């Protein structure tokens, strides 16, 4: 029996991997991911520069002060935050370490930064406390967005010096005609009221310009009010200081340490694995279903059954497609590792240690193990469904309940990574149909060892039960023609010994 099962599995595997479409399908996902990731970057670069105008209702040049603040990042706050993280000191240490390697040569030109030095500097970024890194990125992003907006003087618009109402009317018309993206009205007396600070635009989705001016105007108005109230600068800074709780976690010895940026990246990594796991299981299981239905409708399966038993045929098909799926998964993992290795070479300056994150043994082993377990469980269900249908159309109708079940891991994916050891995560872990996805998603937690043992045991028992049930259905259904059997008939097959 084992030899015949192996021959069927070999046939299924070779039939798939010998085709060009199989390998094109493998490459399709990495290519689509690269395109989707690159598209966002390219589209951001292609974003048009938007013009805006500023109408100052006062006469003290407040609009110009806010404009300068919007074009200049909050440098003092950024430097203070960087000193707090210890980043400048760490960078100076690295510079001193590689001083000889980067000192100018005989021609006076600076040498290119060694790869080791660049890699060490970028690793430092992952060691920054996560809360501080988020603030740094927020400040840098706010400063960078200013390049996408261009202020147009009122003189260029031909409305400078005109009465206020005429200026407002003209600016509204320009916005209405899409000749101007937006315009601001800077209040006449910000020391007393901010009611007449307005932002007028027909684009309600792009809030980058408004947020840029919000932040800049806040800094300027706060400074004006502090000076007007004659508050000591040190007192004002103390009052204005933002409360930012330092994120910390407990170590193995019970001590508290800062949560680093790399720690957060590592905890979010399972999301990508779960998504790939879902695609891999669905691809392999559907491949099995399609092959079963096609061979049954073409009567090829009858020829095969003249040489092997139904159970040998079913087992061979399941393991053959399992090998095909594993080839698919390993190819994707290889593409991911190759991409991470090539990225720094193709994109100068990019050398983040992503390999350390996606190459975590716990994630890779869990991914392969849960792929096999998840595939075998869903394969048993789908091979049973495929054996009682005569066409792909009938099979698609029966697949709807399976698709509904498989939606649950997708919609809960982001929630579970935030609460990997919460009640919802634990409940889903003990439902075998969701166990592979949920436990993979919780790998960043990670769950307790006993949870791995119990959920794995439940999953293996479920696979055994599913295969027994599928074998009973397959043995009878694979030779049936005409109308598909009713649910009552299938249940009677399952009751047979």
pLDDT above 90: residue 133: no
pLDDT of 141 above 60: no
Greatest mean pLDDT among 57-61, 78-82, 260-264 lies in 57-61
- pLDDT of the residue at 170: 92
CA atoms within 13 A on the CB side of 266: 20
Q: Lowest mean pLDDT of 267-281, 369-383, 416-430, name the range.
A: 267-281
**Whose CA is closest to 334, among 372, 364, 377?**
364
Is the pLDDT higher at 82 or at 58?
A: 58
Q: What is the pLDDT of residue 455?
A: 92
**Picking from 33-37, 112-116, 247-251, 279-283, which range would have the lowest pLDDT averaged per residue?**
112-116
- Least confident range from 40-49, 261-270, 345-354, 386-395: namely 345-354
* pLDDT range class, residue 493, cuts 50, 70, 90: confident
The stretch 324-340 carries a mean pLDDT of: 78
Is residue 234 scored above 80 in pLDDT? yes
* Residue 356 binned pLDDT confidence (cut-offs 50, 70, 90): low
Q: Which residue did the predictor score with more confidence, 114 or 294? A: 294
Query: What phi, psi does 494 have (nearest 5°)?
Result: -65, -30
Supply the pLDDT for residue 174: 92
| pLDDT of 228 above 70 | yes
Of 132-141, 160-169, 221-230, 278-287, the range with the lowest mean pLDDT is: 132-141
Number of H helices, E strands in the chain: 23, 6
For the entire predicted model, the pTM comes to 0.64
- Better pLDDT: 74 or 305: 305
Of 169-178, 189-198, 443-452, 475-484, the least confident = 475-484
pLDDT at 459: 92
pLDDT band for position 462 (cuts 50, 70, 90): very high
For the cut 90, the answer to whether the pLDDT of residue 90 exceeds it is: no
| Three-class DSSP category at 205 | coil
Q: Is the pLDDT confidence value at 41 over 70?
A: no
pLDDT of residue 442: 83
DSSP reduced 3-state for 256:
strand
Q: Which of 204-208, 297-301, 454-458 is modeled with the greatest confidence?
A: 454-458
What is the average pLDDT value for the chain, to the nearest integer? 78
Percent of the chain predicted with pLDDT > 70? 76
Which pLDDT score is estimated for 495? 74
Domain borders along the chain are 2-38+267-495, 49-249
With 0-12 / 13-18 / 19 or more C-beta atoms within 10 angstroms meaning exposed / middle / buried, residue 389 is buried
Q: Does residue 97 have a pLDDT over 60?
A: yes
pLDDT of residue 176: 92
Mean pLDDT of 123-145: 61
Asked if residues 101 and 111 have their Cβ atoms less than 8 Å apart, the reply is yes
Check whether 429 has a pLDDT greater than 80. Answer: yes
> What are the tens digits of pLDDT across the range 335-347?
777 776 676 666 5
- % of the chain exceeding 90 in pLDDT: 9
Q: For residues 183 and 317, what is the distance between their CA atoms, to the nearest angstrom?
A: 66
Evaluate if residue 121 carries a pLDDT over 90.
Answer: no
Strands (E), 216-346: 248-250, 256-258
Tokens of 479: 């030779």
Q: pLDDT at residue 26 above 70? A: yes
Strand order in the sheet with 50-56: 149-151, 50-56, 182-186, 198-201
More confident: 476 or 116: 476
What is the average per-residue pLDDT within 453-468? Answer: 91
Residue 199 · residue 213 · CB < 8 Å? yes
């Amino acid at each position: 029996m084992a030899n015949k099962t192996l021959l069927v599995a070999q046939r299924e595997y070779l039939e798939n991997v010998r085709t060009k479409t199989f390998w094109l399908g493998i490459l399709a996902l990495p290519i689509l991911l690269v395109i989707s990731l690159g598209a966002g970057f390219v589209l951001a670069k292609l974003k048009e520069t938007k013009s805006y105008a500023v109408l100052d209702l006062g006469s003290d040049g407040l609009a110009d002060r806010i404009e300068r603040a919007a074009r200049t990042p909050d440098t003092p706050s950024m430097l203070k935050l960087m000193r707090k993280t210890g980043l400048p000191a760490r960078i100076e240490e690295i510079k001193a370490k590689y001083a000889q390697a980067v000192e100018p040569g005989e021609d006076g030109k600076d040498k290119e930064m060694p790869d080791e030095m660049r890699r060490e500097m970028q690793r430092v970024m992952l060691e920054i406390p996560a809360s501080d890194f988020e603030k740094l990125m927020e400040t840098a992003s706010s400063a960078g967005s200013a390049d996408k907006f261009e202020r147009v003087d009122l003189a260029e618009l031909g409305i400078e010096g005109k009465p206020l109402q005429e200026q407002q009317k003209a600016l509204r018309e320009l916005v209405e005609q899409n000749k101007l993206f937006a315009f601001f009205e800077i209040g006449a007396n910000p020391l007393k009221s901010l009611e007449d600070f307005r932002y007028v635009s027909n684009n309600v989705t792009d809030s980058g310009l408004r947020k840029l001016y919000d932040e800049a105007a806040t800094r300027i108005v706060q400074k004006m009010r502090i000076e007007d109230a004659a508050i000591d600068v040190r007192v004002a800074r103390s009052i204005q200081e933002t409360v930012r709780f330092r994120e910390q976690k407990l170590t193995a010895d019970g001590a508290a340490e800062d949560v680093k940026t790399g720690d957060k990246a590592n905890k979010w990594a399972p999301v990508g694995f779960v998504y790939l796991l879902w695609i891999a299981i669905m691809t392999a299981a559907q491949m099995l279903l399609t092959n079963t239905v096609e061979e049954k409708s073409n009567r090829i399966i009858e020829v095969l059954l003249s040489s092997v038993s139904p159970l040998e045929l079913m087992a061979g098909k399941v393991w053959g497609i399992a090998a095909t799926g594993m080839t698919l998964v390993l190819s994707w993992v290889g593409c991911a590792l190759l991409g991470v290795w090539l990225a720094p070479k193709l994109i100068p300056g990019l050398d983040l240690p992503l390999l350390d994150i996606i190459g975590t043994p716990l994630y890779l082993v869990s991914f392969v193990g849960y792929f096999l377990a998840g595939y075998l469980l869903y394969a048993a269900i789908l091979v049973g469904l495929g054996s009682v249908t005569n066409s792909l159309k009938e099979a698609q109708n029966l697949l709807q309940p399976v698709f509904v079940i498989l939606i649950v891991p997708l919609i809960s994916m982001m929630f579970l990574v935030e609460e990997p050891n919460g009640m919802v995560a634990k409940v889903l872990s003990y439902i075998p149909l969701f166990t592979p996805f949920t436990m993979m998603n919780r790998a960043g937690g990670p769950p307790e060892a006993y949870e791995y043992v119990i959920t794995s045991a439940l999953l293996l028992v479920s696979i055994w039960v599913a295969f027994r049930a599928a074998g009973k259905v397959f043995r009878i259904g694979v030779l049936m023609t005409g109308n598909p059997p009713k649910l009552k008939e299938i249940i009677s097959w399952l009751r047979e010994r």
